[in-house]
Copies of this chain bind each other. A is one copy, B any other.
Amino acid sequence: MSKDEAETGAREGASRRGFLRAGLAAGGAALLGGKAVAQTAAGDPANLPPNVADWSRYLGEGVAVRAYGRPSEHESHVIRRDVEWLTASRESSVSFTPLHELDGPITPNGLCFERHHGGIAELNPQDYRLVLHGLVDRELVFTLDDIKRMPRVNRAHFAECAANSGMEWRGAQLNGCQFTHGMIHCVMYTGVPLRVLLAEAGVKPTAKWLLLEGADASGMTRSLPMEKALDDCLVAYRMNGEMLRPENGYPVRMVVPGWEANMWVKWLRRIEVGDEPWYHREETSKYTDLLENGTARKFTFVMDAKSVITSPSPQAPINHGRGFTVISGLAWSGRGAISGVDVSLDGGRNWRPARLDGPVWGKALTRFYYELDWDGSPLLLQSRARDETGYVQPTKNELRAVRGLNSIYHNNGIQTWHVTAAGEVENVEVS
């Protein structure tokens, strides 16, 4: 499925060669900044031009000098960033993924956003224990080695904070998709299906809910319906092949595909099986959606279909002037796979299909592109995701009409970027 779509995308890319060529014929090499080669480098190193760069003239650093690698120093601006005024302390706060500096569907481990309620718990894997108790035939304690001995699977899923884009409910606030949409990441998890652990313990017929508890100082707790637990949840210990990072729950976290990331309890130490939800703090006073009439939507677990254009965006302006450019973004849905993305250049009046590229996994980030020969006129860029259930991403105003402005959660409305004639980009609202 994803393979076919990817190949279709490649063919489309190929067919656009004519477009590029036409541009070259008309505008010359300027289209891509390409310049005819006045003096070509010669095949024989002895004939290389005298201005050959230093990096070609001297031996570089050897292997395994960095036994664990890190990015180039020229990429030192590609980092997670927090917003100091947003929270009272960094221990209960958030840092944002630099979406505007990434591409493809995978987030590298070092750049996955953080959301902690009591700071990063630094667990010793030798002393790690996971308790499974409550309405089970046999209460169990698992060591990390126990978990690693059980049948495991590999699945890529997005984790999105329920409050992602939360500050945009009341209008365009933050200038950059890192801050408006950066509480999301997507990695390949390795873990044991939760249903396998539950089968080991034997779930009693009256069991309907689980309590998930973290080993951090906040004792993060969330209630999880049994139906979801038996469906696709993972007790995960790896991300993108290696062990979880400390800030992502090392050594074990829950993966609850498609549901708000607050339920993906990190540093997982305890699973209690019960017959009703627990109504803990993080599912009552927090992570409920307060409506205009003073009532609140509770247990709004699923993250609905959403998308954002990551480039161009306020932190990633168009620097090359008019001509061929690639509009790139991400789409995702907690209900399943993305079936399509539309892009608008005029604030939602007209829509054109984007090209999905790379794997299209269920409940995962999906990369889309829209190639454009930009004439330099201002744009009101939007993207609109559709998923395999038929759900279509709504506008922010459509959401506000129903939900009001009291909540910071579950804002999956369409985002608008205003691109000026100079290529600068700002976060705006369209009516």
Contact = CB atoms under 8 A, between A and B. Distances in A.
A12 B216 CA distance: 34
Interface in A220-250: 221, 238, 240-243, 245-247, 250
B56 A68 contact: no
B108 A109 contact: yes
A401 interface: no
14 contacts: A14-B193, A14-B195, A20-B199, A35-B141, A43-B211, A59-B217, A63-B94, A67-B80, A69-B80, A71-B242, A78-B243, A103-B238, A108-B241, A153-B358
A334 interface: no
Nearest to A107: B241
User: A interface, how many residues as a size bin?
Assistant: 35 or more
A269 interface: yes
Contacts of A357: 152-154
Interface in A37-63: 37, 40-41, 43, 45, 53, 55-63
A239 B319 CA distance: 23
A152 to B, nearest CB: 7
Interface in A1-44: 1-3, 6, 9-10, 12-14, 16-17, 20-21, 24, 29, 32-37, 40-41, 43
B199 A142 contact: no
A352 interface: no
Interface of A: 1-3, 6, 9-10, 12-14, 16-17, 20-21, 24, 29, 32-37, 40-41, 43, 45, 53, 55-72, 74-75, 78-82, 89-91, 93-95, 101-112, 114-116, 118-125, 127, 131, 133-134, 138-143, 145-146, 148-156, 188-190, 193, 195-196, 199-200, 202, 211, 213, 215-217, 219, 221, 238, 240-243, 245-247, 250-251, 267, 269-270, 272, 278, 319-320, 323-326, 357-359, 361-362, 367, 369, 371
A61 B131 contact: no
Contact of A140 (B35, B90, B211, B247): B35
A29 B13 CA distance: 56
In the complex, the count of this chain's copies comes to 2
B358 A359 contact: no
Contacts of A112: 69
Given A106-B106, A138-B24, A72 B121 contact: no
A150 B320 CA distance: 12
Given A37-B131, A41-B270, A243-B72, A106 B188 contact: yes
A369 B151 contact: yes
Contacts of A114: 63-64
Interface centre among A56, A151, A362 (most CB of B within 10 A): A151
B13 A193 contact: yes
A67 B41 contact: no
Nearest to A12: B151
Contacts of A21: 199-200, 202
Given A1-B1, A21-B199, A359-B359, 14 more contacts: A12-B151, A13-B151, A17-B200, A29-B138, A43-B211, A59-B118, A62-B120, A69-B245, A70-B70, A75-B243, A101-B242, A110-B110, A145-B319, A151-B326
Contacts of A58: 217
Given A57-B217, A267-B55, A108 B240 contact: yes
A141 B118 CA distance: 52
B188 A358 contact: yes
